[in-house]
């Protein structure tokens, strides 16, 4: 399959399904998905931290798989489904359960890292469940190693993820 050549400064229309809704907007080929979501589509729940894929704050799900939005170009999601932390209640049961558990366990303080952690945790737990596995605390901590949180010390986050994992 050949891909169209994208002009460096030309605008391209990107069509995607964002949190269950068909959306489209213009993007230059070098525009990052994180910036496209925030500035072109108004989905500000996806945070931009390091812009190098290290902190995990920008994690979204593309076609059901967790990905760093700061390492993905907007044009790469043309025709695909992107889910963010702003997905409507009831659309992703694991995400809903994690949101509630995070509240119960006070697993957020400033909230900057929370969206990415929720998206990665939902993706990871879904894969664990599909494989018939129940993770332990060490596995949860390993999954969280791709996220930087400066406020919580991770214990309430681990507790919240473990609650959902063991439900």
pTM for this predicted structure: 0.90
Which CATH number do you get for residue 68? 3.10.20.30
What pLDDT digit, counting tens, does each position of 110-158 carry? 888 999 999 999 999 999 999 999 999 999 999 999 998 888 789 999 9
Residues of the domain holding 19: 12-83
Do both 49 and 76 map to the same domain? yes
CA distance 141 to 147: 10
With residue 95 as reference, give the H or E element that holds it: helix 93-104
Do both 79 and 103 map to the same domain? no
Do both 25 and 78 map to the same domain? yes
What pLDDT digit, counting tens, does each position of 140-150 carry? 999 999 998 88
């Amino acid at each position: 399959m050949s891909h169209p050549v994208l002009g460096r400064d030309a605008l391209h229309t990107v069509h995607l399904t964002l949190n269950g809704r068909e959306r489209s907007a213009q993007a230059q080929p070098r525009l990052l998905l994180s910036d496209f979501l925030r500035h072109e589509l108004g989905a500000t729940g996806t945070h931009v931290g390091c812009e190098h894929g290290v902190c995990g704050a920008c994690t979204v799900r593309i076609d059901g798989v967790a990905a760093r939005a700061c390492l993905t170009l907007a044009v790469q999601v043309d025709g695909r489904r992107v889910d963010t932390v702003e997905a409507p209640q009831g659309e992703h049961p694991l995400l809903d359960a994690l949101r509630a558990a995070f509240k119960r366990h006070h697993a957020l303080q400033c909230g900057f890292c929370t969206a990415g952690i929720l998206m990665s945790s939902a993706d990871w737990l879904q894969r664990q469940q599909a494989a018939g596995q129940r993770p332990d605390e060490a596995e949860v901590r390993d999954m969280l190693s791709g996220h930087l949180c400066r406020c919580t010390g991770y214990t309430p986050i681990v507790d919240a993820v473990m609650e959902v994992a063991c439900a």
